[in-house]
Structure 1
Amino acid sequence: MLALETAHGDLARIRPAAGPLPWRQRDPGFPGLLRAICGQMISNAAAAAIWGRLSALPGALTPAGLLLLDDAAFRTAGLSRPKMLHVRALAEACASGRLDLDAVALLPDGAAIAAIAAIPGLGPWSASIHLLFGLQRHDVFPPGDVALAAGLAHLRGMEVRPTPKALVAIAESWAPWRSLAARLLWHHWRHATGRGAE
């Protein structure tokens, strides 16, 4: 962390202002990807509430068990119709062996992201989130993440948030520690918006 902060003064300002960096982790298997789907396009608080209800459903944390759940159970958990389709697609891919998460964990970052993103409902963002928080990869930067763009714009005093393409280009200078840079930017944005460790 110190090497990244030493090389990039703007990132070095984050921890003194926001406090120690919380180290968030997720399950590296099926539950971790399931949670990534729950978190798509909604706030962290809403995602946590949905995840809490979904993970409490009997069998939901295994592909076979999840496939036994009906729409009513998913609605009770708070899943939208598209997310119901996505969690089922993930469960079917894992149950059939089309997505072998043990094998994915051994792949290089790009190949692992491509394998996960090939499943309906799991694009590059969800795949990158899984690699970052589930597999603890150190050089992954989620493309198109609105909070990362907002955090960087706030940190650097930019009038306009960088586009996803521009953000990914900026992140190149943080390699091979782009995951850490992302964690720092999320931490900064939570602090700046008063959301704490949400």
Structure 2
Amino acid sequence: MTHFLHTDADMMAALDRLAETDPRLTAVRQVAGTFSLRRREGGFAGLCSIVCGQQLSTASAAAIRNRLFAAFDPFHHDAVRTARSDKLKRLGLSAPKIKSIKAIGKALSEGQIDLDAVGAMDADLAHEKLVALHGVGPWTADIYLLFCLGHSDAWPAGDLALQEAARIAFNLRKRPNVKQFIKLAEPWRPWRGAMAHLLWAYYHVVKRRDGAPEAAASAAAKKKVKRKPAKRAAPKRTAVKSRTTKSRQKAKRNGR
């Protein structure tokens, strides 16, 4: 059965169920505190919004997204897919992102994917359908499932913040890689999405309190005093007598 997280109450109920199966979550929830469920618009607009934000800061992504939505009113996949690439480029979209949103628009127009139908699928099948689209990788697919559809079991295993949050929260020796993180999350089905929201909230608290691990490491590196390399002592010179000099001294001792 597919579950969804549409309200804060849905989120709290899902976390309660998770805590029943994993007692470690009690401490994690105490640190994370109360947080609200974050949701975004779904459909083509929601997917394009996530594509716009790939590998960009929040501010830059928001600026491009706002320009994109303002340029097409109503925002429809047919209008975007048939738009001139130079127009999209002027909005701040890179060539790969233009190619991606046009390909998604074409897939929707030709019926290759139905985003409404994807919303009713279980997490793994929905993920599979989304990553079949050009420009939609595993992270983009799972972010869409979590924030646009409210899927309770989407699991963005490649998200670095989630990996780091799990490392700290569960006292792991090192940050888990994608394969390890997928395996780690298996016991949390069908509420892995709720766990993702919890770990993000936990990470933001720890980041504010202690500083992000990467930032802390960077700051520590900057504080290191660069010591000038010690001057190497000049090698002691040893007087070396030539063979001629030694021969003369020997001859003098022999009375020659």
Q: Do both proteins adopt the same fold according to a TM-score greater than 0.5, normalized to the shorter chain?
A: yes
Matches of 2:188 and 2:92, distance apart in 1? 37
The answer as to 2:130 corresponding to 1:130 is no
> Which residues of structure 2 form unaligned runs of 5+?
1-14, 210-256
Matches of 1:51 and 1:65, distance apart in 2? 16
State the 1:45 CA deviation: 4.1
- The alignment of Structure 1 onto Structure 2 pairs a total of residues equal to 195
Matches of 2:59 and 2:27, distance apart in 1? 26
Matches of 1:52 and 1:42, distance apart in 2? 14
State the 1:60 CA deviation: 7.0
Matches of 2:60 and 2:27, distance apart in 1? 29
Opposite residue 201 of structure 2, the aligned amino acid is H
State the 1:130 CA deviation: 1.6
User: In 1, are the aligned partners of 2:163 and 2:175 still within 8 Å (CA)?
Assistant: yes
State the 1:7 CA deviation: 3.3
Task: Report the counterpart of residue 109 of structure 1 in structure 2.
Answer: 123
Matches of 1:59 and 1:142, distance apart in 2? 31
Deviations along 1:34-86, one digit per CA (max 9) or x if unpaired, are 12212323344443333233222224731012124333433343322211111
Matches of 2:26 and 2:57, distance apart in 1? 26
Task: Report the counterpart of residue 87 of structure 2 in structure 1.
Answer: 73
State the 1:16 CA deviation: 2.8
Opposite residue 31 of structure 1, the aligned amino acid is A
User: In 2, are the aligned partners of 1:59 and 1:65 still within 8 Å (CA)?
Assistant: no
Matches of 1:192 and 1:45, distance apart in 2? 22
Matches of 1:17 and 1:188, distance apart in 2? 6
> Which residues of structure 1 form unaligned runs of 5+?
none
SS of corresponding position for 2:208 = coil
Higher-Rg structure is 2
Two-structure CA RMSD over aligned residues (Å): 2.3
Task: Report the counterpart of residue 40 of structure 1 in structure 2.
Answer: 54
Q: Note closer, same or farther for the CA distance 1:3–1:85 as it changes in structure 2 (3 Å cut).
A: same
State the 1:165 CA deviation: 0.5
Opposite residue 144 of structure 1, the aligned amino acid is G
% same residue: 35
> How does 1:130-169 map onto structure 2 within 5 Å?
130-169=144-183
Scaled by the length of structure 1, what TM-score is found? Answer: 0.86
Scaled by the length of structure 2, what TM-score is found? Answer: 0.68
User: In 2, are the aligned partners of 1:54 and 1:60 still within 8 Å (CA)?
Assistant: no
